[in-house]
Each structure stands twice: as structure tokens, then as C-alpha cells.
Amino acid sequence: MGVDLGPLVKSRAPIKLEDLNRRVIAIDAYNALYQFLAVIRGDTGDPLMDRERRVTSHLSGLFYRTCNLLEKGAQPLYVFDGKPPQLKREEIMRRGEAKRKAYELYQEAQVRGDAEAMRKYGSQSVRLDEGMVAESKELLKLMGLPAVQAPSEGECEAAYLASTGVAWASVSQDYDSLLFGSPRLIRNLTVSGRRKLPGRDVYIEVNPEIVKLDDVYRELQVDRAQLVDLGILLGTDFNPDGFKGVGTATALKYIRTYGSLDRVEPLKDEISDYDYPQIRDIFLKPAVSDVSGLEWGQIELDGVKAMLCDRHDFSPDRVQAAVKRVGEASKGKSETLERWFG
């Protein structure tokens, strides 16, 4: 879930896919795949499945959304999670229990025939297993795209790649990317489009937006270390509960007034029993790795069709049409560059 900086961060700006032309964007792969699994579902909340009832929502989202990005000239770079920090165990266990309860409610809704509840609890009970991750990496390879295996958090590695210039921006729904030091965070890129509000017969249009770290520093009047301390006050994946009774306005006031978490006088008793330096280090001294030799190649249509169509019952016409659009867009850009420099 990450730290909830949304109420404080006002300096968000819309961004179009066309603005990503010829730019490398480092995408938090697990974050994107979970979004696909949660959003790409039928009317009764069931995920997409092939004839053998194997879930394919993640593959559908990964393929068609990535084709959209490639068609606009973006260079997506998916970054996969490694071993999570020890401090995240509590949050992982909490999420697992929440998913288990949601699945029980989903099954109860099935018995009642309650389609609305099935959609709600179905999206809350999604699980990403090792087989799904392996197939996602296989698909990316067939699409000619590089993938990075992070030593720890994928979001952290994506932010690092953006901060070192390997990527132009990182892509995630979570604001943690800012605490990890990403100079640009793109949100809603993998979930943009018309979306139904949970529990209501209301639809909204979700559009991609960009948040620049320097704008956040200026807007909140904090630096990187203070932003991390602000996140710890509110609660991160490594201390999910945060500090009792401290909301966004109070947390920001404390950091502005006292300068750092360890100096917040009203919370001195709670802080003295808190291992906040270890959480700080996760954000400020993260486990990351340098990457080099990244290459973006051509889509292997036969391989993609064998995987998606033959193995998982995707429509051959739709898959071929998506690949064709990418090829035509790429050819058009190449011809334009040739005329420009010719």
C-alpha cells in the first residue's frame, strides 16, 4: 500500500503517453501486475481465465498496456521485486490475511449471487504467484523488452534507476518512490481509463499524472530526509500503523517545527521505543544494483502468439492487431527521423 502522501502532494500534473516518446520509464512490475489482476475482471468479479481456468488478467494487462506504451514511443523497463526487507514481514502477513478474508467474502457473495460484492471482494483477494511472475518475464522477453531483477524492493530499484539517469521516471501507484528518491514519479499509467468506483454505480476517468520530487520538496518545505521522516510518521510498509493519532497535517507540522523525527517533542516517549533508524536506512540507504547493457528489440510475433493464443486462448486477431500498431508506429517514427536527418 505504501505511504499515503496523496492528501499533501498537490503538485501533480497530467501527462500524456505521447510525452513519453523516446523516454525510458522504470515500472514497478509487481505493482503493475497487481493492478492488472485487480482491475481486469468480468462483471461478476472473476479474473480473465483460459479454457483450463488459469488466470490471465496479468498477461492481458501486461501485453496490451505495454503495446500502448510502445506505440507511443515509450521504452518501458519492468523492475521485479527481490527479497523484501525483514521489517516488511508484518505488512506482508497483514496483506495475506486481508486477502484471505476478502476471498471468503467473495465466496459468500458467489453463493448469494451478489455480483457487486463479487467484484469488490474479488479485486481485494488477488494473489500474484511465482508462475505468474515467470510468465510475465517470459512475455516481456518475447516482446523484446529488458527486465531488471531488483535485489530487494522493485519500487526502490526503479526509483534508483530514475535517480541515476538510467530511466527518465519511475512508474508506480505508491508515493514510496518519492521517499526512495525518484526525481519523477508517474502514477495511473497502468490503470488509466474508465473505472467504476467501488460500491457505487459511478464511473470516473483515471488519467496518468506526474509528480516531480523537487516540486514536492518545495511545496512541503522539506528535504529528502525530512520527507522520509514524514512518511514514517504516517506509516510505511515497514511500520504500517505509523504513529497513533498523527494524520497528514499533524505529521507535516511536526517535521516543519522540529526538523526531524527524533526531535518531535510530543512523541518523545513513543519514538524512544521505536526502531526508526532502520526504516530510514531502507529509504535513504536502499539495497539496489547498477544495471547496464539494456536493449529494446522487436516483438517476436510468432512467439507471442504461441504463448498468448495457443497456450492461453487469447484472440489471435487482437494480438496481431496490437503488434501491428506497434510496428507501424515504430516504422513511422523511423521514417520521420530519416527524413529529418537525411
pLDDT in tens, 240-293: 888 988 999 999 999 999 999 999 999 988 888 788 899 999 999 999 999 989
Cα gap 334→336, rounded to integer Å: 5
Alpha-carbon distance values, 331 to 72, 298, 325 (Å)? 12, 12, 10
Cα gap 280→342, rounded to integer Å: 52
Cα gap 277→279, rounded to integer Å: 5
Identify the band that residue 334 occupies on the pLDDT scale cut at 50, 70 and 90. Answer: low
pLDDT in tens, 183-211: 999 999 977 666 555 555 556 678 899 99
Cα gap 198→17, rounded to integer Å: 26
Q: Which three cell numbers stand for residue 81?
A: 521485486
Where b means 16+ CB within 10 Å and e means fewer, 295-307 reads eeeebeeeebbeb
Cα gap 290→161, rounded to integer Å: 8
pLDDT of residue 202: 58
pLDDT of residue 326: 95
Q: Which three cell numbers stand for residue 133?
A: 511472475
Of 157 and 85, the structure prediction assigns the larger pLDDT to: 157
Handedness of CA 274, 279, 284, 285 (dihedral sign): positive
Handedness of CA 171, 176, 178, 180 (dihedral sign): negative
Q: Which three cell numbers stand for residue 204?
A: 470516473
- Ordered domains of the chain (ranges, CATH): 1-220 (3.40.50.1010), 222-285 (1.10.150.20)
In this structure, are residues 288 and 132 in contact, taking their beta carbons and an 8 Å threshold? no
**The model's pTM:** 0.88
Cα gap 250→306, rounded to integer Å: 55
Q: Which of 165, 161, 160 is nearest to 283 (CA)?
A: 160
